[in-house]
A and B are shown apart, each in its own frame.
Chain A
Amino acid sequence: MRHIISLLLENEAGALARVAGLFAARGYNIEALTVAPTEDPTVSRMTIVTRGDERIIEQITKQLNKLIDVIKLLDISGADHIERELMLLKVRTHNGHDREEIKRLSDIFRGRIIDVTARSYVIEMTGDSAKLDAFLANLAPSQIIEVVRSGPTGILRGERGLHL
Chain B
Amino acid sequence: MELSGAEIVVQALKDEGVEFIFGYPGGAVLHIYDALFGQEDVKHVLVRHEQGATHMADGYARATGKPGVVLATSGPGATNLVTGIATAYMDSIPMVVLTGQVPTPVIGSDAFQECDTVGITRPCVKHNFLVKDRRKLAETIKKAFHIATTGRPGPVLVDIPKDITDPNVKIPYHYPETISLRSYKPKVKGNPRQIKKAAELILQARRPMIYAGGGVILGEAATELTEFTRLLGFPITLTLMGLGGYPGTDRQFLGMLGMHGTYEANMAMHECDVLIAIGARFDDRVTGKLDEFCPYAKIIHIDVDPASIAKNVPVDVPIVGQVKPVLADLIAELKASGKKPDADALAAWWQQIERWRAVDCLRYDRESPLIKPQYVIEQLWEATRGEAYVTSDVGQHQMWVAQYYKFDRPRRWINSGGLGTMGFGMPAAIGVKLAHPDSDVICVTGEASIQMCIQELSTALQYKTPIKIVNLNNRYMGMVRQWQEFTYESRYSHSYMDTIPDFVRLAEAYGHVGMRIEKPEDVRPALDEALKMKDRLVFLDFITDRTENVYPMVEAGKAQHEMRLPPWINVDRELA
Q: For residue B182, which residue of chain A has the nearest CB?
A: A71
Interface-lining segment among A58-66, A107-115, A123-131, A154-162: A58-66
Interface of B (DSSP majority class): mixed
Q: Which of A25-82 contact B (CB under 8 A)?
A: 25, 55, 58-59, 62-63, 65-66, 68-71
* Residues A71 and B307 in contact in the complex (CB < 8 Å), given A13-B130, A18-B122, A21-B122: no
Which of B122, B127, B181 lies in contact with A17, CB distance below 8 A? Answer: B122
Residues of A within 8 A of B219 (CB): none
What CA separation (Å) do A60 and B253 show in the bound complex? 36
Take A62-B307, A164-B182 as given contacts and tell me if A68 and B122 are in contact as well, using a CB distance cutoff of 8 Å. no
Is there a chain A Cβ closer than 8 Å to B169's Cβ? no
Q: In the bound complex, what is the Cα–Cα distance between A18 and B127 (angstroms)?
A: 9
CB contact between A10 and one of B119, B122, B126, B183 (< 8 Å): that residue: B183
Partner of B183, one of A13, A17, A70: A70
* Interface pair B305/A66, CB less than 8 Å apart: yes
Contacts of B123 in A (CB 8 A): 21, 25
From known contacts A17-B119, A59-B311, infer whether A69 and B183 are also in contact, taking CB-CB under 8 Å.
yes
Contact of B126 among A14, A59, A68 (CB under 8 A): A68
State the CA gap A58–B314 with chains docked (Å): 12
Q: Tell whether, in the assembled complex, residue A59 and residue B118 are in contact, meaning their CB atoms are under 8 Å apart.
A: no
Check A66/B182 contact, CB under 8 A, given A14-B130, A25-B123.
no
**Interface residue? A9 (CB, 8 A):** yes
Closest to B127 in A: A68
Secondary structure call for the A interface: helix
B306 within 8 Å of A (CB atoms): yes
A82 to B310, CA, bound (A): 31
Q: Which of A9, A17, A18, A55 contacts B310 (CB 8 A)?
A: A55
Counting chain A CB atoms within 10 Å of each CB, the highest count among B126, B128, B184, B305 belongs to B184
Q: Are A58 and B310 in contact (CB under 8 A)?
A: yes
Bound CA span A164–B181, Å: 13
Chain B residue at minimum C-beta to C-beta distance from A55: B310
Which residue on chain B has the smallest CB distance to residue A60? B307
The answer to whether A71 touches B305 (Cβ under 8 A) is no
Indicate whether B286 reaches chain A with its CB closer than 8 angstroms.
no
Please, how many residues of chain B have a CB less than 8 angstroms from a CB on the other chain? 18
**Does B543 touch A at the CB level, under 8 Å?**
no
Is A66 touching B307 in the complex (CB atoms < 8 A)? yes
Tell me the B66-91 residues at the A interface (CB within 8 Å): none
Is B554 an interface residue when CB atoms closer than 8 A count as contact? no
Q: What residues on A are CB-neighbors of B183 within 8 Å?
A: 9-10, 68-71
A-side contacts of B122, CB under 8 Å: 14, 17-18, 21
Q: How large is the interface on A (under 10, 10 to 19, 20 to 34, 35 or more residues)?
A: 20 to 34
CB distance from B141 to the nearest CB of A (A): 15
- Inside 8 A of A14's CB, which chain B residues have their CB? 118, 122, 128, 130
Binary contact track B290-316/A, C-beta < 8 Å → 1, others 0: 000000000000000111001100000
Nearest CB of chain A from residue B200's CB, rounded to whole Å: 24
With a cutoff of 8 Å between Cβ atoms, the chain B residues found around residue A62 in the complex are 306-307
Residues of A within 8 A of B184 (CB): 68
Per-residue contact bits, chain B 101-129, to A (CB 8 Å; 1 contact, 0 not): 00000000000000000110011001110
The reply to whether the CB of B147 lies closer than 8 angstroms to some CB of chain A is yes
Chain A residues whose C-beta falls within 8 Å of the C-beta of B181 in the assembled complex: 68
A77 to chain B, nearest CB (A): 20
Whole-angstrom distance between the alpha carbons of A25 and B183 in the complex? 22
Selected contact of B307 from candidates A63, A69, A70, CB within 8 Å: A63
Chain A residues contacting B182 (CB-CB under 8 Å) are 71, 164
**CB nearest to A69 among chain B residues:** B183
Q: How far is the CB of A149 from chain B (nearest CB, A)?
A: 28
Chain B residues with CB below 8 A from A25, complex form? 123
Tell me the B416-442 residues at the A interface (CB within 8 Å): none
How distant is B473 from chain A, measured CB to nearest CB, in Å?
38
Tell me the smallest distance from the CB of B185 to a CB of chain A, in Å. Answer: 10
Q: Which residue of B lies closest to A13 (CB)?
A: B130
CB proximity of A98 to chain B, nearest CB, Å: 47
CA distance A10 to B183 in the complex (A): 8
Complex-state Cα separation, A65 to B309, whole angstroms: 14
Residues on B with C-beta less than 8 A from A55 are: 310
Scoring A residues 136 to 164 as 1 if CB is less than 8 Å from chain B, else 0, what string do you get? 00000000000000000000000000001
Could you tell me the distance between the alpha carbons of A71 and B182 in the complex, rounded to whole angstroms?
Answer: 7
Q: Which residues of the partner chain A approach B127 to less than 8 Å between Cβ atoms?
A: 68
CB closest residue in chain B, given A14 = B118
Distance, CA A13 to CA B147, complexed state (A): 18
Closest approach, in angstroms, between the C-beta of A101 and any C-beta of chain B? 49
- CB-CB contacts of A5-26 with B at 8 A, as 1s and 0s? 0000110011001100100010
Residues of B within 8 A of A68 (CB): 126-127, 147, 181, 183-184
The minimal Cβ–Cβ distance linking B481 to chain A, given in whole angstroms, is: 32
How far does the alpha carbon of A17 sit from the alpha carbon of B130 in the complex, in Å?
14
| A65:B147 contact, CB within 8 angstroms | no
Q: A18-B122, A21-B122, A21-B123 are in contact. Are A65 and B306 (CB under 8 A)?
A: yes
Query: Roughly how many angstroms separate A63 CA and B306 CA in the complex, as a whole number?
Result: 9
Residues in B neighbouring A69, C-beta threshold 8 A: 183
Enumerate chain A residues within 8 angstroms of B307, measured Cβ to Cβ: 59, 62-63, 65-66
B520 → chain A, closest Cβ, in Å?
48
CA distance A25 to B147 in the complex (A): 22
Q: Which residues of B contact A164 (CB under 8 A)?
A: 182
- In the bound complex, what is the Cα–Cα distance between A58 and B311 (angstroms)? 9
Chain B proximity of A33: nearest CB distance (Å): 17
Residue in A closest to B305 when the chains form the complex, CB atoms: A66
CA of A99 to CA of B469 in the docked complex: distance in angstroms?
Answer: 84
Q: How far is the CA of A13 from the CA of B116 in the complex (A)?
A: 13
| Residue interface bits A88-103, CB-to-B below 8 A is 1, else 0 | 0000000000000000
Distance between A69 CB and nearest chain B CB, rounded to angstroms = 6
| 30 chain-A/chain-B pairs, Cβ below 8 angstroms | A9-B183, A10-B183, A13-B130, A14-B118, A14-B128, A14-B130, A17-B119, A17-B122, A18-B122, A21-B123, A25-B123, A58-B310, A59-B307, A59-B311, A62-B306, A62-B307, A63-B307, A65-B306, A66-B305, A66-B306, A66-B307, A68-B126, A68-B127, A68-B147, A68-B183, A69-B183, A70-B183, A71-B182, A71-B183, A164-B182
**Closest 3 A/B residue pairs (Cβ):** A62-B307, A71-B183, A68-B127
14 extra interface residue pairs, beta carbon distance < 8 Å, beyond A14-B128, A62-B306: A9-B183, A14-B122, A17-B119, A17-B122, A21-B122, A25-B123, A62-B307, A63-B307, A65-B306, A66-B305, A68-B127, A68-B183, A71-B183, A164-B182
